[in-house]
Structure 1
Amino acid sequence: MADYTGRIAQELKLPVSGVGAVAELLAEGCTVPFIARYRKEKTGSLDEVAITAIRDGLARIEELEKRREAILGSLTERGILTEDLKKTIDAAATVTALEDAYLPFRPKRRTRALVAREAGLQPLADALLEQKGRDPRELAASYVNEKKGIADADAALAGARDIIAENVSENPSVRQDMRVIFVRFGVCTSSVVEKKKEEPEAATYADYFDWKEPLLRVPSHRLLAVMRGEKEGYLSFSIRPEEKLALEKLYARYVTGSGEDSRQVEAAVTDGYRRLLAPSMETEARSTLKKRADADAIAIFARNLRELLMASPFGARPLVAIDPGVRTGCKVVCLDSKGDLLHHTVIFIQRSDAQYVQAGATIRALVARFKPDAVAVGNGTASRETEEFLRGLDLDIPIIVVSESGASVYSASELARKEFPDQDVTVRGAVSIGRRLMDPLAELVKIDPKSIGVGQYQHDVDQKQLKNALDDTVISCVNAVGVDLNTASAKLLSYVSGLTPSLADNVVKFRESEGPFRRRQDVLKVPRLGPKAYQQAAGFLRIRGAENPLDASAVHPENYGIVDAIAADQNCTVADLIAAKDLRGKIDLNRYVTDEVGLPTLEDILSELEKPGRDPRSALEIFSFDPNVRELTDLEPGMKLPGIVSNVTAFGAFVNIGVHQDGLVHVSQMGRYVKDISSVLHPGMAVEVYVLDVDVKRRRISLRMELGKKNAREKSAVK
C-alpha cells in the first residue's frame, strides 16, 4: 500500500501522509463526504475533489494489479515465464507498459510471422537483421523446403520479412517512440462516406465531410461528433502522422547498412509499420483521445448537474403548480409546505372565452382556499401563454417559471407510481414541477441525471464512468446540503453518506410506523442500520425542532461532548451558545484541541453554532422573460433579452429566452476570450443576451452576450 500511496501522491501532487490516511479510511468503509467533513485532522483537510481522485487512483492501481496477476498467471501456466520477463512485468507502472511487455507473449491467432517461424525462418530473419552486406538470395537458398511451404528463395525472404515486421511492431521501445510521434504529430482526418452523402441525416456532419486537424488541438466535442458520425456510417475517420516521419524514425533504428540485406530489412520495417504498427497505434490514439474526450464531456455534465442540484430553493412553503397544456388543458395541483398533494384539477385557457374566464375563477378560488406563497409554471408547451394568463389575474403572489426537463420521465417512473398510486402521469408531473421549485435537489434526485438535459454527447461517452461521476455529484450535493430526516424521501436518503437504498427504505418505513424521529440516535433503532452506517450518516441528517439543537446542525454526534464542554465552560446551555454571539466570541478553541480533534473540526463546530444547519444554496432570485417575446417570429436581430442558461457545453452555452427553443451563445460570441465556459456560466444563471440571427425554418437562434458588462448575474434564477 505504501508504494501505491506514494505513486498516487506523486501523480496528484498531494502529501503522502494525507493520501495514506484517505486510503486507510476508505478501506475502513468511510465515504468521501464523511472523510472530507469529519476526518480533516487525519487527511490534512483534503477536500472532496482530492479524496475522490485518491479513491479513483487506488481503484485504477487495483485494476492494474489484477491485470498483472492475470498476465503472470498466463505466462506461468504456459511455462514461458523467465526471471527477466517477470522483472519486466513487475516493473511495469502503467497498463500500457504492462501490455507492451506482454504483447510478444500473448496467445495470438496464426499470424504470418508465426507461420514463418514454424517453417524455420527465424535464423534467416536474424541473419538479415545483422546487415553484413550478404546476398539475401544466397542466405535464403538453404531455407527452401517445399514440405514446409517454402517454394523458393523469394518465399523464404517474404517469411523472414514477416518475422521482422512483427518484431518491429511488438518491440516495447519502438511502440513508445511511435506513441510519441502519433500524439505530437498525428493528424485527425474525416471524410464523408459518398454513398450516404445525400441522406438528410448526413447534413448533421457537413462540417466534417472534409476535415483535418492536428490531434493535439482537437477539442473533445469535435472528436465526439466525428466519432458519432463514423458510428452512424456517415463519416470515415482516421488518425495518422505523416508516414515519412514515422518511417524515418524506424529506419534510423533498424536499417544500419546499404546492401541488399538492408533493403530487405527496410522493406520489412515499412510493412511492419503500415500493416501492423500504424493500425495498432491508431487504435491506441483513438482510445486515448476518446478517454480524454469522455472525461471532458463527463466533467462538463457533472458541473452542470451540480449547478442544477444546488439551485436556489423556494423553501418549504405552500404553492400551486401548473403543467401547461393546450389540447388536454393545464394540470393544476395544490401542495402544502411538505410538498404533499392537497388538490388537483384541470383548466383550459385556449379553447374559448368562457373557459378562459372559468379558468381564472378556478385559480382565484384555489389561491383563496389554499393560500399558496407562489404559483410554479412548467416551461413546456403553452408556458408563456399560461404565465401571461396568470399575471393577468393579479394574484399578488409570485408567478415563477420552472424547468420541467425530466418531469415526464419521473411521472412515468416506478417511484412516481409508488408515491402517487391513484394519480395519472399528468398530476404526478405537475407535482414534480411544484416540488422542484420548493427544493430542486430533493426532487431532481428522483430523476436519472441523463434525462435532465444538461449533458454534452452523453450517450457517446463511457456510460459506467458517466454514471459514477454523476452519482458522485449527487452524493456530494445531497450531503453538502444535509437531509431532513423526518421529511426526506427514500430516494433522497439513499444518497446520504452510509445509507444504502435498502437502509433508506427502512428509515422511511420506520418513520411511517413509529412517527417522526426526535433524536439523531433514534436512527439506530431502524432495522439493519448499525453503528458504522450511523457514524457515516448522522452528521448529514437533520432533525428540525429537536430537543438537542445540535441535531439540526452539521455537528457530528461524536463531537457533542465537545460542545457540551464549551457550553459548561461558558456557564450556559448549548442553545445559549447558538443564540448569543458574544458567548461564542469568548471561546478559545485551542483549549479543546485533543489528539483526535484539532482546530479544523473545532472551527467547523463553531461555524455551525453560528448558523446551525445552514443551507449552502444561494437565495432565490425570481426571474421573468420579456413579456413581448413569446415565439420565434417575435425575435429580431439586435434585440436585448433576459434569459436563463439551460445548458453549458465545451463550444458554447444554450440560453432559454422564453420562445420554446433555446438559443446558442457560441464560445466566440461571449464578448471576451473564455477558456472554460463553465467557469463563468452555469445552468440556472440569469443572463442578458443579444439576438444575432434567427432561422425560423430550422428553429435555430444565434445569440451573443457581453461577459463582464453586467451580464451574468451572480445569483441563480428559477426557470
Structure 2
Amino acid sequence: MNINEILIKEFKLKEYQIENAIKLIDEGNTIPFIARYRKEMTGEMSDTQLRDLFERLTYLRNLESRKEDIMRLIDEQGKLTEEIEKSLEKAKTLQEAEDIYAPYKQKKRTRATIAKERGLEPLALMLLLSKNIDLEKEAFAFVNEENDVLDIQTAIEGAKDIVAEQMSDDADIRKYIREYGLNHGLISSKAKNEEDSVYKMYYDFSESIKDILPHRTLAINRGEKEDFLSVKIVLDDQTMIDEIAKRYTGAQNEGNENILFEIAQDSYKRLIFPSIERELRNHLTEIAQERAIKVFGQNLNGLLLQPPIKEQVVMGFDPAFRTGCKIAIVDKNGKLLDFTTVYPTEPQNKIEESKKILKNMINKYNVDIISIGNGTASRESERFVAEMISEMDRNVSYVIVNEAGASVYSASKLANEEHPDINVSIRGAISIARRLQDPMAELVKIDPKSIGVGQYQHDVNEKRLTEVLDGVVEDSVNKIGVDVNTASYSLLEHVAGISSSVAKNIVIYRDENGEFNDINDLKNVKRLGPAAFKQSAGFIRIPESNNPLDNTGVHPESYEACLGLLDKLGYSLNDVKNGNLEDIDSRVKKYGISKLSDELKSGEATLKDIIDEIKKPGRDIRDSGIKPVLRTDIMKLEDLENDMILTGTVRNVVDFGAFIDIGIKNDGLVHISQISKKRIKNVSDVLTVGDIVNVRVIGIDLEKGKVSLSLKNVPQNKETEAI
C-alpha cells in the first residue's frame, strides 16, 4: 500500500504537496505554522486541509501497521498463504483487515470450537467437500462417549456449527452483506410505549441507511438509550441467506444443498446478521458523530472569531430568579471595577430598588454597554434593563450574549487564580462582560465542550470531540495572533508550539521582568527553546516593541526578507510603524512580485503575506466582521406579525437549520429550506454562529412560544448579501 499515492488521489493534490506536508508534520511542526509559514512547500494548503490530511495519514499508517501485525500473527500459526497476503494488501479499511484475520483469531469457546475439540471437523469437511453425503451414516462414526459425542444428532449439530462459523468468518461474505446493508438496508425504530416525548416522530420510522440524515441517527440513538425506542436494521434476509448458500454449494458438494442452505440460514441469523447489524449501527453513528463534531467545530470557530467590542466599559449582567442577578462592571481592558447583586426578577421583584443601584453604578463608572447572559431569566432581565435605560439620560445600550460555560469557568481553578477574593457567582458576570469585549480571550478559558453551540454534542465520542475542538481553538487563536504582554496563560497555551507549562512561564517572566519589548525576549523564558520559538514567534504580537514587525504576523525568520523588500520599494521600518504604505501595492506591481521573489530569495506566497501584514501592524481580522446587535428596547412574542422583517444574531447552527436571536424570549428557527432560494446541503455553508442577518417572520406559535423565520427574498447587509 503506497500511502502517498492514496493521499494524492483522495485529496486531489500534487505529489510535492503531499510529500512536503507529511515531511513537515513528521518533523514536529504544528498545523498553524505549516499553513501560515510553509505555503511554498505545501502549495498553500489550508489549516483545514492539513488537519484532514493528518487524520487520514494517521489512519492509513495505523492500517498498515495492523496489516503487518495480522500477517505476523497468521504466519506464526503457519497458515499464511500468498492469497492471504494479497487480500491484506488490497484491504482498504481496518474492518476489511479484521475480517481477513477473523478465521485465525483466538476465539472464546464457541459452539464451533467445542465441536472441533470433540473431533467433528472431518465431518464438517465432508459436508463441504463430499457429494451426496449420507449425513447420519457418516456421523455414526464420530459418536464417542470420551469426546462427549453421545449420539448421531450431537455429531451432526457439531459439524453444522463448524460450517456455520466458517461461513460467518468468510471475509468476502461479510463484505458483501455489509455493502448490501449500506446501499439497500433500512434503519427502523418503533415506540416502546405510546408516552408522549420529543422522539414522537420516530415512533414508527424507517429510512434507508444511505439516506438517513446524521442528526436523525443521533436522535434515534438517544431515544433508544432513554428507552423510548426499539431500533433495528432491516435487510432482505432471504437474499442474504441465498447468497451465502450459493457461495458454499457447487460441484464439489453436489447433493448437500439442502443441509448447506439450512446451515447458511443459521449462520446468517445467529452469527452474521447480529454482528453486521452492530457494524452498520456503529457506521451510522460514526458518520453522525463526525458530522455533529464538524458542526460544533464550525460553530465554535464562528463564536471565537466574533468581533470584539473594544474601548467600552461593560456591565456584565448574569440573570437569575431566586438568587438574584449578579452584576460586574469591567473597564475598557476587562479589569473588574465593581460588583453587586440585585433582585429585579421573581420572586423578590425589587425593581425600583434594583434600578436605583444600577443607575448609580452606570453613572459612576460611565458604563457604555450592558452585556446580558442568555440563560435562565434572561428575557425577564432584558425587559428590566430596557425599561431602566429608557429612563436614563446616558446613551447606554444592551446586548444578549451566549453565556454557555460561564458557570463552568466560575468554579474553575483559573477563575480562582484570576479572582481569588471574588464570590464564585460573581465570576460568571465578569465572564459575561468580558465575552463582549474579547470573545476569544474569554472563551478559551472554558472547556470547548461546555460551550453550547452544537447538536447532540453530549452523544459523541468525547476524545474525538476534544481533539477537533482543540484544533479549532488553536487555529482560531493563531489566525488572530496574541498580545504577549496582556494575554492570560489560558490564551497563550493555544499559540502554536507553546505548551501549558511554557504559557505559565511566559506570564511568570512578564510578572518578574515587566513587558516584553522585543520578540527575541521570548528566548529568555524558561523551557521556551528554539523549536517552540520557531513555531510560536509568528503568532505573537508585541505592540510596545521598537520593531514594528514584532506587532505583525511576519515571522522573525522573514525579517531580513521584509527589510530587503522595504528597501527595494523605497520604504523604511518607520513607514511601517506610521502606516505610510498606502501605495505599496502599486510599487510591488511596478517592480514585479516574481522579480522581488528572486532577488530576496523568498517565495511569492510568503512575500504576499509579508506585504499584507506590514500594511496594518497590529490589525485584528475580527474587526472587519459584523458587530453584535446593540439594543435599547425589547420585543415580545405578541408584538410579532407575519412578514415582519427583523435583525437577529445567529446563536446556533445545526443540520436542519439555524436558531436566530431576534430579541424575544426564545430564539426563532430558520429551517434549512428557508435559508436560500438555492438548494443547500449544509446550513454551515451559508450561516455561522455570530452572523448578523435580516429575517422575515413566517410563522408564530403563541402557545408554544415558537417563531419560524425565513431568509428568502430578505435584503441583507453587504456582509451577508450572498445569502
Same fold per superposition (TM over 0.5): yes
> Who is 1:227 aligned against?
221
Q: Secondary structure at the match of 1:459?
A: helix
Secondary structure of 1:270's counterpart equals helix
Conserved 8 A contact 2:163-2:263: yes
Q: 1:116 maps to what in 2? A: 115
- 1:379-528 aligned at under 5 Å gives the runs 379-380=374-375, 381=377, 382-528=381-527
Distance 1:133 1:712, change over 3 A: farther
Question: Which position in structure 2 is the counterpart of 1:692?
Answer: 699
Where 1:586 maps in the other structure, the secondary structure is: helix
CA contact (8 A) 2:308 2:627 kept: no
Question: Aligned match of 2:653 in 648, 651, 655?
Answer: 648
After superposition, the C-alpha distances for 1:185-224 in whole angstroms (9 at most, x for unaligned) are 1110111224xx54xxx62222222211111111111111
| Pair 1:614-2:622 in alignment | no
Quote how far apart the aligned CAs of 1:419 are. 0.5
The answer to whether the 8 A contact 1:136-1:261 is kept is no
Matched, 1:683 2:689: yes
The one-letter code of the counterpart of 1:528 is R
Relative to structure 1, the CA distance from residue 402 to residue 166 in structure 2 (aligned partners, 3 Å threshold; closer, same or farther) is same
Q: Secondary structure at the match of 2:287?
A: helix
The 5 Å alignment of 1:38-117 reads: 38-72=37-71, 74-75=73-74, 81=80, 85=84, 88-89=87-88, 92-117=91-116
Label 1:553 to 1:373 Cα distance change in 2 as closer, same or farther (>3 A).
farther
What's the counterpart of residue 246 of structure 2? 252
* 2-structure distance, mates of 1:306, 1:391: 35
Structural RMSD (CA)? 2.8
Paired residue for 1:212? 206
Residue 475 of structure 1 deviates from its aligned partner by: 0.6
- Distance in 1 (CA, whole Å) between partners of 2:56 and 2:116 is 42
Match of 1:278 among 273, 278, 284: 273
- Paired amino acid for 1:281: I
Q: For 1:526-545, what aligned pairs fall within 5 Å after superposition?
A: 526-545=525-544
**Deviation sequence 1:264-313 (CA, Å, 0-9, x none):** 11111111111111111111111111111111111111111111111111
Cα deviation per residue 1:230-254 (whole Å; 9 max; x = unaligned)?
1222221111311122123223322
Moved more, 70-79 or 571-580: 70-79
Report the secondary structure of 2:2's partner residue: helix
Displacement of 1:314 in angstroms is: 0.8
**Structure 1: which amino acid aligns with 2:298?**
R
Whether the aligned pair in 1 keeps the contact of 2:543 and 2:618 (CA below 8 Å) is no
Residues in 2 aligned to 1:119 and 1:214: alpha-carbon distance in whole angstroms: 44
1:387 to partner: Cα distance = 3.0
> In 1, distance between residues paired with 2:79 and 2:277?
30
SS at match of 2:715: coil
Q: In structure 2, what is the Cα distance between the partners aligned to 1:95 and 1:445?
A: 36
Distance across 2 between alignment mates of 1:487 and 1:519? 15
Aligned residue type for 2:620? D
User: Deviation at 1:524?
Assistant: 0.8
Number of residue pairs the alignment of both structures matches: 707
Q: Return closer, same or farther for 1:525/1:292 CA change in 2, 3 Å cut-off.
A: same
- In structure 2, the residue corresponding to 1:655 is in which secondary structure? strand
- Structure 2 counterpart of 1:665: 670
After superposition, what is the alpha-carbon deviation per residue over 1:128-149, rounded to whole angstroms, capped at 9, x for unaligned? 2236334333333333334323
| Cα 1:367/1:228, change in 2 over 3 Å | closer
Q: Identify unmatched segments of 5+ residues in structure 2.
A: none
Indicate conservation of the 8 Å contact 2:317/2:372, yes or no.
Answer: yes
The corresponding residue for 2:581 is 580
TM-score by length of 1: 0.91
Find the aligned partners of 2:59 and 2:653 in 1 and give their Cα distance: 29
Q: Kindly tell me: are residues 320 and 155 of structure 1, through their superposed partners in 2, closer, same or farther at Cα, counting changes over 3 Å?
A: closer
Q: 1:714 aligns with which of 691, 716, 719?
A: 719
1:590 aligns with 2:589: no
Distance 1:323 1:118, change over 3 A: closer
Aligned counterparts, 1:234-383, within 5 A? 234-256=228-250, 260-349=255-344, 359-360=354-355, 362-380=357-375, 381=377, 382-383=381-382
Partners of 1:275 and 1:61 in 2: how far apart?
A: 33
CA contact (8 A) 1:635 1:694 kept: no
Alpha-carbon offset, residue 394 of structure 1: 3.4
Q: For residues 306-350 of structure 1, give each alpha carbon's deviation from its aligned partner in whole angstroms, at most 9, with x where no partner exists.
A: 111111111244333333445554433332222111222344546
Indicate the larger mover: 94-103 or 55-64: 55-64
Deviation (angstroms), 1:434: 1.4
| Matches for 1:559-574 after TM superposition, within 5 Å | 559-574=558-573
Quote the Cα distance in structure 2 between the aligned partners of 1:419 and 1:92: 54
Q: Partners of 2:320 and 2:168 in 1: how far apart?
A: 64
CA contact (8 A) 1:384 1:658 kept: no
**d(CA) in 1 for partners of 2:181, 2:492:** 48
Q: Which amino acid aligns with 1:282?
A: E
Do the aligned partners of residues 466 and 648 (structure 1) sit closer, same or farther apart at CA in structure 2, a change above 3 Å counting?
Answer: same
Q: What secondary structure, in the 3-state scheme, does the structure 1 residue paired with 2:309 have?
A: coil
Separation in structure 1 between the aligned mates of residue 717 and residue 565 of structure 2, nearest angstrom:
44
DSSP 3-state at the match of 1:320: strand
**TM value normalised by structure 2:** 0.91
Q: What are the ranges of 5 or more consecutive residues in structure 1 without an aligned counterpart?
A: none
Distance 1:700 1:466, change over 3 A: farther
Q: Could you give the per-residue CA deviations for residues 474-493 of structure 1, whole angstroms, max 9, x where no partner exists? A: 11110001111111111011
SS in 1 for 2:719: coil
Most deviating of 617-626 and 157-166: 617-626
Q: Which moved more, 1:675-684 or 1:85-94?
A: 85-94
Cα deviation for residue 636 of structure 1 reads 6.3
Structure 2 SS opposite 1:593: helix
Aligned-residue offset at 1:467: 0.7
Please say which of residues 143-152 and 602-611 is displaced more in the overlay.
143-152
Deviates more, 1:478-487 or 1:107-116: 107-116
Shift of 1:155: 3.0
- Output the amino acid matched with 2:99: D
Cα shift readout 1:84-141 (whole Å, capped 9, x = no counterpart): 6456545544212210111001111121222222333323222222363343333333
CA distance in 2, matches of 1:575, 1:294: 52
Q: Quick one: distance in 2 between partners of 1:135 and 1:606? A: 87
Query: Residue 604 in 1 paired to residue 603 in 2?
Result: no
Distance 1:295 1:253 in 2: 36
Deviations 1:30-54 (A, max 9, x none): 1000000000111111111111112
CA contact (8 A) 1:192 1:235 kept: yes
Q: Given the superposition, is the C-alpha separation of residues 31 and 464 from structure 1 closer, same or farther in structure 2, using an over 3 Å criterion? A: same
1:520 Cα deviation after fit: 1.0
Q: Residue type of the partner of 1:709? A: V
Secondary structure of the 1:255 match is coil
- d(CA) in 1 for partners of 2:454, 2:654: 8
Report the secondary structure of 1:313's partner residue.
coil
Letter in 2 for 1:185: H
Q: 1:558 to 1:132 in 2, by over 3 A?
A: same
Partners in 1 of 2:349 and 2:429 — Cα distance?
24
Could you tell me how far 1:568 is from its partner in structure 2? 2.7
Identity, % of aligned pairs?
37
- Report the CA distance between 1:669 and its aligned residue: 4.5
In the alignment, the residues of structure 1 paired with residue 343 and residue 100 of structure 2 have an alpha-carbon distance, to the nearest angstrom, of: 72
Deviates more, 1:42-51 or 1:702-711: 702-711
Write the deviation string for residues 361-390 of structure 1: whole angstroms up to 9, x where unpaired. 554544444334433333342123223322
Q: CA deviation at 1:392?
A: 3.0
